[in-house]
Structure 1
Amino acid sequence: MTPAQMEARIVRYGDLQPCRTAFIDAHTPGSDQKENFTIIGGGVSESADQHVHIKETPGFNIGAAGQPPKCRNSLHTHRTAEVFFVLKGRWRFFWGRSGTAGEVILQEGDIFNIPTGIFRGFENVGTDYGMIMAVLGGDDAGGGVVWAPQVIQEASAHGLILGDNGVLYDSKQGQLLPEGVQAMPVLNDEQLAQIKEPTVQEVVSHYVARYHDMMALSAKAPCNVIGDQALIKDRPGFEVDFISRNSLDTGLYSSERHEILMVMRGHWRLGWEGGSCVLNPGDTCAVPPGLLHALEPSMSGEASLYRVRNTDDQAGLTKDFS
């Protein structure tokens, strides 16, 4: 593989292209400054304006959300896994039918494997622009987002209508639902009653891993964060490892799986038979199966990254609280 071919498989943080109209709450006050990024795969964006950096998926999708302080993402749920780690800032994640069942604060480097079957939202509670990176289960990310009824109702007051084809239409821009397309129905009372309301203890003890703990556990070998026998025991169709400075042998290795490298801190040199490059904080690299490669920090100081690989488990389905 030539350096140019590898570079085409890297999405640089500085090259990320945001979409500010990705979801139904794009005009809702308090949520109208969000930026959505689709890095690998189409994700769950509802807007035709969304730029997709790498279309080929490895069994899951990679995305990101960027938000200024006090900006929030409205309550929604997914049919497949949704995993976030905080790249920049301080974030509050909350859940429940009204967003009041529980909450947790995540700092930079922390990771949250949000279980399926619950409404969730998040907001930047830091003082600067924040960024969270996301892994969504399945090649098609479960077919989209399921919004809490109040989110759809409030959005309609600001001109946005979600069709049952999963596409947004802005009535204030003169857009109408096409023939044969109906407005996305809201969940009824029976469906809402099936939405879980887990406690803070249930969620935080089983689905959150802290950066400082993973740094300590990865002192000599990669820390398995999400997997069958990991810190977060789950089988969502992918596994996640946390790697720090002394976690890896610097020799060449290969994997039969797709390997997505997502740099948290520091600068990492990726070498392979054919070239080398440096990955920086916020960069995402898709290493193809079977490629002999080596990975090591290229500078002194703190260095950490997440490595995501596809598995043979049923794509995207996390365990829940049933």
Structure 2
Amino acid sequence: MLQTTPDIDARIVRYGALRPCKTAFIDAHTPGSDQKENFTIIGGGVSESPDQHVHIADTPGFNIGAAGQPPKCRNSLHSHRTAEVFFVLKGRWRFFWGRWGTAGSVILEEGDIFNIPTGIFRGFENVGTDYGMIMAILGGDDAGGGVIWAPQVIEDAQAHGLILGENGRLYDSKRGEALPDDVAPMPLLSEAELANFPEPRAADVIPGYVARYQDLMALAADGPAAVIGPNGCLRDRPGFEVEFLTRGSLPDTRAVAEKHVVLMPMRGHWHLSLDGADRHLNPGDTCLIKPGEGYALTPSMTGEASLYRITETDDPAGPTVV
């Protein structure tokens, strides 16, 4: 009987092949945010633009995306109903939160990971000296039904030609577009609604929601380090689990994926053997493994090697409470 191998190349998105969208969100024309690029890697993500390219349409219980920004470029204040997890692939980033972005902030370096609590306004900016990239994991197949913007973001966008419809779609007057007669503009949140968005201090967020790369390297020296999950250093159950692997974490035997698994190398070059197919994964690549497939990972070169592994779980992709 002829043995077939999985169509692995269709499930590997190479970092160098990522296709950006510069009109993904409402702040695409707002000065200070107009140079950012959005990438939708697995699943539909939360883009508000029909221009957004989706690399892999499958939704394995969560979405994978990325944001790329030059220095001093920022992503405007918004909120999500489900998990939003970032790890820094390249550069130095500041994450900030609160109604006006002044409740708290944290600086993340390469490899650090942040499980941002749901239900708070958050934004981020590249505070490094070069183009930076952060990789994102969004909870749920539909990523929580979209983005909730702080009122001032919607008002600033309108002043620069972008209107968000109540249907969740952007209309760009610079392209000659106008809000259709049967579509109302997205209403601004009322003061009563805004009062439901917490304003946690940094001291209440950082210890339970941020993990540092060097700490994870130490934790994963003898086996995979649980990062997000019931036993993780960031204890949460957002519909997926996150593990951190290094050269010393890997078992000698092959693993069989019981649920969808996504591999996201952080540093080093990795050899992947997947049911008879062999490929190399590099930093910034993303690989989707389906349930029932057997795979093995080994670093393919000497030197530092690290990788984030995301696994689908049966936990609901609900909110996190600070």
Query: TM-score, length-normalised on structure 1?
Result: 0.98
The more displaced of 53-62 and 168-177 is 168-177
Match of 1:172? 174
Change (3 A) 1:11 1:29: same
Q: Is the 8 A contact 1:2 1:275 kept in 2?
A: no
In structure 1, the residue matched to 2:13 is: 11
In 2, distance between residues paired with 1:63 and 1:3? Answer: 27
1:133-182 Cα offsets, whole Å, 9 max, x none, are 00000000011100000000000000000001111001232211123211
* 2:54 equivalent in structure 1: 52
267-276 vs 105-114, which moves further: 267-276
Cα deviation code 1:239-284 (max 9, x no counterpart): 0000000101132110211000001000000012322100000000
> What is the aligned-residue identity percentage?
69
Q: Secondary structure at the match of 2:163?
A: strand
Greater shift in the superposed pair: 179-188 or 120-129: 179-188
Equivalent residue, structure 1, for 2:75:
73
The answer to whether residue 216 in structure 2 is matched with residue 214 in structure 1 is yes
Matched, 1:300 2:297: no
Q: String of CA shifts for 1:17-49, please: whole Å, max 9, x gaps.
A: 000000000000000000000000110000000
Aligned to 2:191: 189
- The count of aligned residue pairs is 320
Alignment-derived partner of residue 283 in structure 1: 285
2-side partners of 1:56 and 1:11: how far apart?
13
Quick one: distance in 1 between partners of 2:172 and 2:235?
42
Deviations 1:191-225 (A, max 9, x none): 00111000101100110000000000000100000
User: Are positions 1:243 and 2:245 aligned together?
Assistant: yes
SS in 1 for 2:22: coil
Q: What residue number does 1:320 align with?
A: 321
Please state how far the C-alpha of 1:298 moved relative to its aligned partner: 0.5
CA distance in 2, matches of 1:31, 1:264: 26
Distance in 2 separating the partners of 1:206 and 1:273 = 38
8 A Cα contact 1:235 1:318, kept in partner = no
Does the aligned pair in 1 maintain the 2:27–2:157 contact within 8 Å?
yes
Q: Distance in 2 between matches of 1:275 and 1:74?
A: 42
1:319 is displaced (CA, Å) by 2.1
CA distance in structure 2 between the aligned counterparts of 1:204 and 1:12, rounded to whole angstroms:
31
Q: Distance in 2 between matches of 1:94 and 1:79?
A: 18
Structure 2 equivalent of residue 118 of structure 1:
120
The structural deviation recorded for 1:3 is 6.2
Residue 301 of structure 1 deviates from its aligned partner by 0.3
Mapped to 1, the partners of 2:257 and 2:111 lie a distance apart of 25
Code of the residue aligned with 1:212 in structure 2: it is Q
Equivalent position to 2:97, from 95, 98, 105 = 95
Aligned counterparts of 2:253 and 2:268: Cα–Cα separation in 1:
20
Q: Which runs of 5+ in 1 are unaligned?
A: none
CA RMSD of aligned residues (A): 1.0
Instruction: Tell me how far apart the structure 1 counterparts of residues 49 and 319 of structure 2 sit (CA, whole Å).
Output: 26
State which drifts further: 5-14 or 251-260: 251-260
- Please point out which of 152, 157, 160 is paired with 1:158: 160
Please give the secondary structure, in 1, of the residue aligned with 2:52: coil
SS of 2:308 mapped into structure 1 = strand
Partner SS for 2:114: strand
Q: Aligned equivalents of 1:154 and 1:2: distance in 2?
A: 54
Question: Matches of 1:299 and 1:290 in 2, distance apart?
Answer: 28
Structure 2 CA distance, aligned partners of 1:3 and 1:203?
Answer: 45
Give the conservation status (yes or no) of the 8 Å contact 1:265–1:280: yes
CA contact (8 A) 1:261 1:286 kept: yes
**1:229 shift after superposition:** 1.4
Give 2:167's aligned amino acid.
Answer: N
Paired with 2:300 and 2:179, the residues of 1 have a C-alpha distance of 52
| Structure 1 position 142 matched with structure 2 position 148 | no
Tell me, yes or no, if the aligned pair for 1:250 and 1:296 is still in contact at 8 Å. Answer: no
CA spacing shift, 1:114–1:293, aligned 2, 3 Å: same
Give CA-to-partner distance per residue, 1:52-77, whole Å, 9 cap, x none. Answer: 00001100000000000000000000
